């Protein structure tokens, strides 16, 4: 037994795949689709909801339903040796970075693994492909670790530039822990990524420590679920190479 809204969703998928509905174009109105399929408004909306969740359709209240551009997924990786190459080569992204000094509040304290009140520098990255937001990243470095000179507009996504500069100034990252959660975005993340609050978010909290266990860098990474994936290699290739060399 197949639900009517699933049938309609499949039919619309077909039309997108076949090019009947072209990328970026507006679909017929929900009322028209309801007439076409001999279904009610609500059933058509259920079908469109499926396509929206799949990332194929973007709904614009008061305007219409549009075929989304099919982006490749942006890959976040724990493979520090090749992250730069990956991101720079595979996907061309534009960035904006804003930095400021903060004292971590209690809610951030737990996520960054530092005591509340610790003075840190926050680097806030917004990454775009064209005009479409692809990543919202906040990178934190304790003020007593080192001073960095992060350019306003960066080549590297996801705050990798911070780690690179840390390495250049002699700070060694001995261990990183990535905590990955799938959830809905909060208001700030939804606004920054221009997705609605019912969308899916890939949230990665990364904490990096030196040999003594001191936190030298932490990052809160928010990626739209349908545009991102995270890849973790165990053991990481760079360490395999160090062991071999």
Partner DNA sequence: GAGTGGTCTAGACCACGAG
Partner DNA sequence: TCGTGGTCTAGACCACTCA
CB 146 within 8 A of CB 121: no
One of 22, 26, 41, 183 touching a copy of itself (CB under 8 A): 183
One of 11, 17, 31, 54 touching a copy of itself (CB under 8 A): 54
- The dihedral formed by the CA atoms of 75, 80, 83 and 84, expressed in degrees to the nearest 10: 150
- Could you say whether residue 63 binds a copy of itself (CB under 8 A)? no
One of 91, 102, 150, 200 touching a copy of itself (CB under 8 A): 200
- Could you say whether residue 49 binds a copy of itself (CB under 8 A)? yes
Of 127 and 203, the one with the shorter C-beta distance to a copy of itself is: 203
Which has the closest alpha carbon to 230: 210, 207, 206, 209?
206
CB 9 within 8 A of CB 47: yes
Of 97 and 224, the one with the shorter C-beta distance to a copy of itself is: 224
- Could you say whether residue 73 binds a copy of itself (CB under 8 A)? yes
The least distance separating a copy of itself from the CB of residue 245, rounded to whole angstroms, comes to 12
- Residue 235, both tokens: 């053991």
State the SS3 of 62-111: CCEEEECCCCCCEEEECCCCCHHHHHHHHCCCEEEEEEEEEECCHHHHHH
The least distance separating a copy of itself from the CB of residue 233, rounded to whole angstroms, comes to 5
Instruction: Return the range that interacts with a copy of itself (CB under 8 A); candidates 33-41, 103-111, 124-132, 170-178.
Output: 170-178
219 Rama sector, left if φ>0, alpha if ψ -120 to 50, beta otherwise: beta
Of 15 and 239, the one with the shorter C-beta distance to DNA is: 15
Size of the site for a copy of itself (CB under 8 A): 39
- Residue 22, both tokens: 């072209």
SS3 category, 139? strand
- Could you say whether residue 164 binds a copy of itself (CB under 8 A)? no
- Could you say whether residue 17 binds a copy of itself (CB under 8 A)? no
């Amino acid at each position: 037994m197949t639900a009517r809204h699933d049938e309609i969703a499949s039919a619309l998928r077909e039309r997108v795949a076949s090019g009947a509905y072209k990328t970026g174009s507006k679909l017929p109105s929900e009322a028209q689709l309801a007439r076409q399929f001999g279904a009610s408004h609500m059933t058509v909306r259920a079908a469109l909801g499926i396509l929206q969740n799949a990332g194929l359709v973007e709904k614009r209240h008061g305007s219409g339903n549009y075929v989304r551009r099919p982006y490749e997924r942006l890959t976040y990786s724990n493979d520090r040796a090749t992250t730069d190459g990956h991101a720079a080569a595979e996907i061309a992204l534009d960035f904006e970075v804003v930095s400021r000094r903060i004292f971590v509040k209690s809610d951030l304290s737990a996520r960054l693994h530092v005591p509340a009140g610790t003075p840190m520098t926050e680097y806030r990255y917004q990454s775009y492909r064209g005009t479409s937001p692809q990543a919202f990243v906040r990178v934190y470095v304790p003020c007593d670790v080192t001073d960095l000179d992060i350019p306003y507009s960066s080549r590297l996504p996801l705050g990798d530039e911070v780690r690179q500069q840390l390495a250049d100034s002699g700070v060694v990252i001995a261990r990183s822990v990535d905590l990955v959660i799938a959830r809905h975005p909060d208001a700030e993340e939804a606004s920054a990524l221009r997705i609605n609050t019912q969308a899916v978010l890939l949230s990665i909290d990364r904490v990096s420590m030196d040999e003594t266990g001191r936190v030298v860098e932490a990052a809160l990474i928010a990626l739209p679920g349908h545009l991102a994936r995270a890849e973790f290699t165990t053991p990481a290739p760079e360490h395999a190479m160090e062991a071999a060399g």
